[in-house]
Structure 1
Amino acid sequence: MTRAPAPVGRPARPVGSLTVWQGAALYVGAVLGTGVIALPALAVRAAGPASLLAWLGLVVLSVPLAATFAALGARYPDGGGVSTYVRHAFGARAAAVVGWCFYFAVPAGAPAAGMFAGAYVATALGGGRRTVLLTAAVLLVLVAVANGFGLTVSGRLQLALAVLLVALLLTAVVTALPHAHLRNLHPFAPHGRPAIGAAAALLVWSFAGWEAITHLAADFRRPERDLPRATAVAVAVVGVLYLAVAATSVLVLGPAAGTSDAPLAELLALGIGGTVHVLAAAAAVLLTLGTMNAYFAGAARLGAALGRDGALPAWLDRGGSVGEVPRRSLAVVTALSGLALAATAVTDVGPQPLVLLTTGSFVTVYTLGTAAAVRLLPRGSGAHRCALLALVAVAALLVMTGWYLLWPLVITASALCYLRRRRAAGPARDEQPQYVP
């Protein structure tokens, strides 16, 4: 795709540092993440072996969804990500809403992800809830520090994590498969067909992330070429690993797959033998670290873009240019994540409410993002057809989300109130984002 030249008198866009493989690793970390260590059991609990159909359906959905966001990222490489696309399609107010939904979803989802990993660490080392919370807090600090050093360090870290994670998951699957039995597929749908939809709604957490790396599109060396390639690699890796782990859990563990809180540890124990709790805890921590790292990077860049565009306070804009580190926005994400973790610790409610709040926000982001893609991408192109398919599928997920949409509605109202107060206080900044294509 030919990109328009930079306007006369304006310097060309700085060249980013992310490679195809680093970008693919960020994608793998953002999407694979904690879903593979926690949700196979929850999905089996909801729908039995029929939950495999929910996994398969969401893997298939990932293809047009990921392709849609990759096409948008290559066409509009800007730190605002989905917010930028929605702004071009529907204006400043809609962009502020989707930006807020993503930005304030990350501080809710990050502590939940950390607690999932903490449960594995507590199983291996003991300490119960205190170990769970301490692990989550340490992970928050680690990803904040990694991103504070900039995307070069963060991208390299993510690539190393992705290689280790793929190796660990393949080891669990390959070594456990000899213990698989087809009889574990019966009864296939013990809770009926409607339960498959319930499992799919639950598994949205596992597949959130295809939009996250679009905030880093401008940090690729050649976004129009490298972002689609990184996306294709990530879709293949994530799809194969999710289906492999989910299918192996059902075929090997049988009914016990729905009662285990650590299915990956169970697979490793059967495949390798002996005590593997420490290995499983290490895998859980690495998966979670990769997810949180990718989301913190994307959210920090988004916050700077929202500050630039007037959807958040302007002081967040500092460090938002390509090659810079948006440390102020990163500090806000980190502080809010710490507050969410502290609130969870005080109320003793566990990670599930945070998961549900995050899911509702991301489904809203997907809906607005794919709708923007339908309007922005060239009609008749493959990317436009992918956007249409993705919009239909995401609309179905939106219906299944149900009451959890109340949280993004609260965020929407807050964003609109902020814009109204800002407009009353001074001139509105409704112009298009000032990125250089």
Structure 2
Amino acid sequence: MTDQLTKGDSHTSYARPSLGMGRGTAMYIGAILGPGILALPGLAAAEAGPASIVTWIVLLGLSVPVALSFAALAAKFPDAGGVATFVRRAFGARPAGIVGWWFYCVIPIGAWTAGIIGAEYVGEALGLGGTGKLLIGLGLLAAAFGANHLGLRLSGGTQLLLMIVLVLLLGVATVAGALHVSAANLTPFAPHGVAGIVSAAGVLFYAFAGWEAASHLSGEFTDPARQLRRVTGYTLLIVSVLYIGLSIVTVGALGGDAATSPVALTALLTYALGPAAAPVTAIIALVLSFGALNTFVAGASRLGAALARDGDLPAVLARGGRPGEIPHRSLLLLGSLTAVATTVSITFSFNLDDLMRATSACLAAVTVLGCAAAVRLLRGRSARAMAIAATGFTTVVLASMAWYLLVPLGIAALALGYRWTRRERPTH
């Protein structure tokens, strides 16, 4: 099966990869700068107070080796399997299958989380109640899956335009909020001590867990070896400026309201736009939610086809997994799982914090093994040192997930169970 991962069989006689620098960077930004930026500053402030700013800065700094390690791996081994491909090359088929299942199975949970965040802002702007917000969230999911069924060329171009608008609007919110930052809002700085800062790191990892999603798109780039490092660098620069800026002004300008308001970004934009802030924020929420959903669905659907190719999912799902093709069957399965996860979340009224932490636990587990694979696969002292640092950082974050670790453990058991039943199934 490993032979299928060689570079030689990636391209010939199939549709050509379509992602260039512009659309590729937009897809990466969509994966990293997701709708979490709308909710996470407030959730982190509730856990750590103003000290959440420190958590943001530390996580951004430590995420650099993670991003660069994934960029190096994706440039060297471009494949729809993404992290599962890296882990397969480093550690073999069984760990790779588990990693693939972690990412594929958590996307339905994370997708509804993105839909909730976007729907909350849009619903507030339009004065909608629970039913209206629910319909908006479901509409976002339908739009993302529909765009991916049409193909990355369309959805990637759409993403480029949306990300340009997004960065401009978030920049306006940051500048407007900066003019109202008060030192009084930064005290007490760490009301919940170190424990609060660690807890904030657990939920904030959601904001930094897009590198593994984007790695599944590596085979869609026209020149991965040349483009991926540059795309990663541009993405790091843009999201770092926006994350740090928004985290500071959210706490510094809104004070205690930062931890309680479900629409903190609207309050920041009100300083610059007045009554127009609510509809503008609704646009930002739609862009962020669709951008993240678009990229994660694109990556996960291609991963599903790659897992089927490698024997970790039914072979029927492998169709459409070549670069430039559309994995419609994997998309249909992913959509069905998303519908189930969404129904369960709505029925049992799971809150946003729980959904984000469950998603973060799985994505952190994926990232740990991906970074560990980089330690084995990358050559050169500096590259390996970077990968070792990335592995250590993500391991610490994973450990902070506490009982949410039961989610990746349960999925790992399902992945191993599938491999066992496949091995035991008689052949004719």
TM-score by length of 2: 0.95
State the partner residue of 2:400.
400
The answer to whether 1:85 aligns with 2:86 is yes
How has the CA–CA distance of structure 1 residues 175 and 310 changed in structure 2, closer, same or farther, with 3 Å as cutoff? Answer: same
Cα shift readout 1:415-435 (whole Å, capped 9, x = no counterpart): 1110011111157xxxxxxxx
Cα shift readout 1:132-152 (whole Å, capped 9, x = no counterpart): 211111011101111111111
The answer to whether 1:136 aligns with 2:157 is no
Where 1:179 maps in the other structure, the secondary structure is coil
State the partner residue of 2:364.
363
State the partner residue of 1:18.
19
State the partner residue of 1:431.
none
Matches within 5 A, 1:167-246: 167-246=168-247
Structure 1 position 45, deviation (Å): 1.0
Structure 1 position 186, deviation (Å): 1.6
State the partner residue of 1:31.
32
Cα shift readout 1:112-159 (whole Å, capped 9, x = no counterpart): 110111111221123322122111110111011111111111111111
Structure 1 position 195, deviation (Å): 1.3
Give the Cα separation in 2 of the matches to 1:408 and 1:5: 29
User: Which stretch has the larger CA shift, 270-279 or 304-313?
Assistant: 270-279
The answer to whether 1:285 aligns with 2:286 is yes
State the partner residue of 2:269.
268
State the partner residue of 1:416.
416
Give the conservation status (yes or no) of the 8 Å contact 2:15–2:325.
Answer: no
State the partner residue of 2:107.
106
Where 2:320 maps in the other structure, the secondary structure is coil
Structure 1 position 301, deviation (Å): 0.4
User: Which stretch has the larger CA shift, 233-242 or 179-188?
Assistant: 179-188
Structure 1 position 303, deviation (Å): 0.2
Q: Residue 107 of structure 2 aligns to which amino acid in structure 1? A: V
State the partner residue of 1:352.
353
Give the conservation status (yes or no) of the 8 Å contact 1:47–1:191.
Answer: yes
Structure 1 position 194, deviation (Å): 2.4
State the partner residue of 2:390.
390
Where 2:326 maps in the other structure, the secondary structure is coil
State the partner residue of 1:433.
none
Cα shift readout 1:68-112 (whole Å, capped 9, x = no counterpart): 001000011110000001101111110000000000010111011
Q: Residue 383 of structure 1 aligns to which amino acid in structure 2? A: A
Q: Residue 34 of structure 1 aligns to which amino acid in structure 2? A: P
Cα shift readout 1:311-358 (whole Å, capped 9, x = no counterpart): 000010000011110011111111211221122222223333322221
Give the conservation status (yes or no) of the 8 Å contact 1:316–1:328.
Answer: yes
Give the conservation status (yes or no) of the 8 Å contact 1:6–1:12.
Answer: no
The number of equivalent residue pairs is 422
Give the Cα separation in 2 of the matches to 1:125 and 1:364: 38
Structure 1 position 271, deviation (Å): 2.4
Give the Cα separation in 2 of the matches to 1:314 and 1:283: 39
Q: Residue 68 of structure 1 aligns to which amino acid in structure 2? A: S
Point out 4+ residue stretches in structure 1 off by more than 6 angstroms.
none
Give the Cα separation in 1 of the matches to 2:240 and 2:88: 31
How has the CA–CA distance of structure 1 residues 351 and 187 changed in structure 2, closer, same or farther, with 3 Å as cutoff? Answer: closer
How has the CA–CA distance of structure 1 residues 426 and 298 changed in structure 2, closer, same or farther, with 3 Å as cutoff? Answer: farther
Q: Residue 301 of structure 1 aligns to which amino acid in structure 2? A: R
Structure 1 position 193, deviation (Å): 2.4
Give the conservation status (yes or no) of the 8 Å contact 2:7–2:77.
Answer: no
Give the Cα separation in 2 of the matches to 1:76 and 1:144: 27
Give the conservation status (yes or no) of the 8 Å contact 2:51–2:197.
Answer: yes
Structure 1 position 272, deviation (Å): 2.0
Structure 1 position 183, deviation (Å): 2.5
Structure 1 position 260, deviation (Å): 1.2
Q: Which runs of 5+ in 2 are unaligned?
A: none
Give the conservation status (yes or no) of the 8 Å contact 1:22–1:155.
Answer: yes
Q: Residue 313 of structure 1 aligns to which amino acid in structure 2? A: P
User: Which stretch has the larger CA shift, 180-189 or 343-352?
Assistant: 343-352
Give the Cα separation in 1 of the matches to 2:229 and 2:7: 22
Identical aligned residues as a percent: 43
Structure 1 position 175, deviation (Å): 2.1
Give the Cα separation in 1 of the matches to 2:254 and 2:7: 57
Where 1:127 maps in the other structure, the secondary structure is coil
Q: Which runs of 5+ in 1 are unaligned?
A: 428-437
TM-score by length of 1: 0.93
Give the Cα separation in 1 of the matches to 2:8 and 2:105: 34
Matches within 5 A, 1:37-52: 37-52=38-53
Q: Residue 227 of structure 1 aligns to which amino acid in structure 2? A: L
Where 1:104 maps in the other structure, the secondary structure is helix
How has the CA–CA distance of structure 1 residues 228 and 136 changed in structure 2, closer, same or farther, with 3 Å as cutoff? Answer: same
Q: Residue 264 of structure 1 aligns to which amino acid in structure 2? A: L
Where 2:109 maps in the other structure, the secondary structure is helix
